[in-house]
Amino acid sequence: MADNTRIAVTGGAGLIGSSLVDELVAAGADVVVIDDFSRGRIENLSGVEDRIEIREGDLEDPGFASRALGDRFDTVYHLASRAFGVAYSEGRHGAILQHNEAITHNLLSTLAANAPARLLVTSSSCVYPDDGPDEIPELPVVTREPEAVNWGYGWAKRMLEIKSELFARENETALTIVRPFNIYGERYHWAGRFSQAIPMLVKRVLDGENPVVVWGSGTQRRSYIHAIDCARMMHALVEAGVTDGPVNLGTRETITMLDLVGQIASAAGREPQIDTDPSKPEGRAIKSADTTRFETCLPGFKLNISFDTGLARMTGWYDATDFGQAGDG
C-alpha cells in the first residue's frame, strides 16, 4: 500500500475495526474513522488517535452518512453494523434487519457520488443456512434461509453482499467481501446480557459464578479467531486484490461450549461446576470455516494469536472493564 493512501473505516473504533485502523496506520495510510461509539470505544484508538481523523455519528442518518463519506477515498473498509449476541436477536430479527439495511443504503448511496477505487464490506458467517456442511465453504446467498438464531442479521448481511456487488459493477469499484466467523478480543465492548459468548463466559467465570450455565446442550462446536488476526486478514485480502467473490475468515478447528468454559476457567485458575440449559438456543451443531479459498488467495498467511493466548488476553479484558459503567445488566 502506498504511503498517504486515503482510507475510511466505518466502525473503526470497534473490536475488529480498531485493530484494522492500527494495521492501516502502521502501513502509512491516511485514515478516517467513522463510528457512532455505540459499540466502539475511543480507548481502542488510543495508540493512533493523534494520527487519524475521527468522524462521530450514526450511519443510519443519511445526512451524517453524506457528510462522513462524501469525500474522495481511495479505499473504504465497511465494518459498521448493529450486532449483539444470540440473546439480543431473539424477537428482534426485523429491527436488526431494518437497522443494518439503513446503514447499507446510506453507505452505498453516498459512495455512488464519488466511488472509491476499492471497497471491502464485512458480511458474516450468519448468512449460511443451518443445514449446510459442518465445515462451511463460501456458499451462495440466494438459496435457503440464513441461520435461524441470527435470521434478521443474516438476511441483512446477504442483502449487503448483493447490493455491494451491484454497486461495484456499476461504479467500477474493486470489491472484497469477507465473511468472518466468531471473532473475539480484549477490545470487546461489554453489552450486558446481550454480550457474545466468549466475553459473557469470561465474566461469568471470573465473577465466581458456580455453576456456570452454558446455553443449549453445550456440545455445539464453534471456531474462533482473534480480532487482530481478522483485521490482518481483511487488509491482506484487499492488498492482494481479491475481488472474485466472498472469502471466509475463520478456522477449521472448533471447540465445544463446554470445553470453552473449561479453558477459560483454567486460564483464570478457577474450577466451577459447568451446567447446561437445553431450553436456550444454541444454533447449529457445528460451525466451522472451510478456509480453502482464503489459503488459496493468501498462501503462507499465519495467524499471530493462538487461542490459548487470546483467552489469556480476555482475562485482562475482564480486569480492565468497568462493568458498572458499561451496563452489567
Q: Domain-by-domain residue ranges, the chain?
A: 6-184+224-249, 192-222+253-287+305-326
How many Å apart are CA 61 and CA 222, to the nearest integer?
A: 35
Indicate if the pLDDT at residue 87 is higher than 80.
Answer: no
Indicate if the pLDDT at residue 90 is higher than 70.
Answer: no
Indicate if the pLDDT at residue 328 is higher than 80.
Answer: no
For residue 326, the SS3 value is helix
Residue 148: its pLDDT value, please? 87
The CATH class of 6-184+224-249 is alpha beta
Work out the average pLDDT over 274-302: 94
Most confident of 1-5, 192-196, 281-285, 291-295: 291-295
pLDDT band at 326 (very low <50, low <70, confident <90, very high): very low
Indicate if the pLDDT at residue 92 is higher than 80.
Answer: no
pLDDT band at 281 (very low <50, low <70, confident <90, very high): confident
- Identical fold, 6-184+224-249 and 192-222+253-287+305-326: no
Residue 170: its pLDDT value, please? 97
How many Å apart are CA 260 and CA 81, to the nearest integer?
A: 26
| CA angle (152 as vertex; 103, 67 as ends), nearest 5 | 5
Indicate if the pLDDT at residue 325 is higher than 80.
Answer: no
* Segment holding 289, helix H or strand E: strand 286-289
Q: Is the dihedral of CA 17, 18, 23, 29 positive or negative?
A: positive
Tens of pLDDT, residues 14-32: 999 999 999 999 999 999 9
CB neighbours (10 Å) of residue 262?
17
* Segment holding 55, helix H or strand E: strand 53-56
pLDDT band at 158 (very low <50, low <70, confident <90, very high): very high
Ramachandran sector of residue 241 (left: φ over 0; alpha: ψ -120 to 50; beta: rest): left
Q: Which three cell numbers stand for residue 190?
A: 461489554
Contact 75, 116 (CB under 8 A): yes
Look at 164 and 90; give whichever has higher pLDDT: 164
Residues 6+ apart with CB under 8 A from 1: 24, 27, 28, 29, 239
Least confident piece of the model among 56-60, 144-148, 173-177, 216-220: 144-148
Residue 89: its pLDDT value, please? 59
Work out the average pLDDT over 42-55: 97
Distance of CA 155 to the CA centre of its chain: 16
CB neighbours (10 Å) of residue 279?
7
Contact 185, 15 (CB under 8 A): yes
Work out the average pLDDT over 32-52: 96
The residue to which cell 450486532 is assigned: 83
Indicate if the pLDDT at residue 274 is higher than 70.
Answer: yes
Indicate if the pLDDT at residue 324 is higher than 50.
Answer: no
Residue 329: its pLDDT value, please? 38
Indicate if the pLDDT at residue 149 is higher than 90.
Answer: no
- For the entire predicted model, the pTM comes to 0.93
Residue 327: its pLDDT value, please? 42
Contact 153, 126 (CB under 8 A): yes
The CATH number of the domain covering residues in 192-222+253-287+305-326: 3.90.25.10
Residue 321: its pLDDT value, please? 86
